Copies of this chain bind each other. A is one copy, B any other.
Amino acid sequence: MTTRDETRPARPAGRPRSEKAEKAIIEATLDLISESASISDLSIEAIAARAGVGKTTIYRRWSNKEDLVVDALAVLKSPLPPLAGRSVREDLITCMEVMRREAGDVRGRCVMNIAMNENDRHPRLVERVRQATLQPRQEALRAMLQRGVETGELRADLDVAIATAMVVGTVMWYVKSAGPGEAGADSGTLAERLADHILAGLSDR
């Protein structure tokens, strides 16, 4: 037993790994993912260059590209916003505002792109992203709509799956087609206007 206390981390000998390098690698990875069309288009050398880091430093931490991407995307998990629960309309606007903001963000978009396009080539990666990020949100939205049906705010014969698709699909498509820039111009009221169109429908009744 040495003089050193048995503090559990049992710090290994030698120079410790640079926390700064690790952050830089993750950041560079996220940057380059959002600039790439696919994981294959992402190169470790480009990540190393962007991060100002040697390739050795990357391979010492992650054994391959997919592991690195998984860890990088994990840091994007922004927490779900608390839903006030006062009314479906209010909660819906809250949700849609979050979606609008994330869909307009380069990094938020790349999560969706990966989830939608890389299923064949990187099923494990996509599954982890789906479970960590997409599924909780989808479930929260589903529960919110279900609650609305029970309180009578929403139609009793509502198809929740269709309603979910209406909410998510409308935001995604609007932001995509209008472009993040234009969507940002009137962004303050966009979620509200989208929500009202979805709630009220298109018909003149």
What's the minimum C-beta distance from A41 to chain B, rounded to whole angstroms?
5
Stretch from A6-14, A52-60, A70-78, A197-205 that touches the partner: A197-205
**Alpha-carbon distance A166/B145, docked complex (angstroms):** 17
CB contact under 8 A between A165 and B174, given known A117-B117, A155-B204, A204-B155? yes
B197 touches A203 (CB 8 A): no
Chain B residues near A197: list those with CB within 8 A: 158-159, 162-163, 166, 201
The residue that A165 contacts in the complex, of B37, B39, B173, with Cβ under 8 A, is B173
What's the minimum C-beta distance from A122 to chain B, rounded to whole angstroms?
9
A162 touches B170 (CB 8 A): yes
B162 touches A169 (CB 8 A): no
Chain B residues near A164: list those with CB within 8 A: 173, 177
Flag whether A171 is at the interface (Cβ < 8 A): yes
Copies in the complex: 2
B204 touches A198 (CB 8 A): no
Flag whether A64 is at the interface (Cβ < 8 A): no
What's the minimum C-beta distance from A177 to chain B, rounded to whole angstroms?
6
The residue that A202 contacts in the complex, of B37, B38, B166, with Cβ under 8 A, is B166
| Chain A 36-51 interface mask (CB, 8 Å, partner B; 1/0) | 1111110000000000
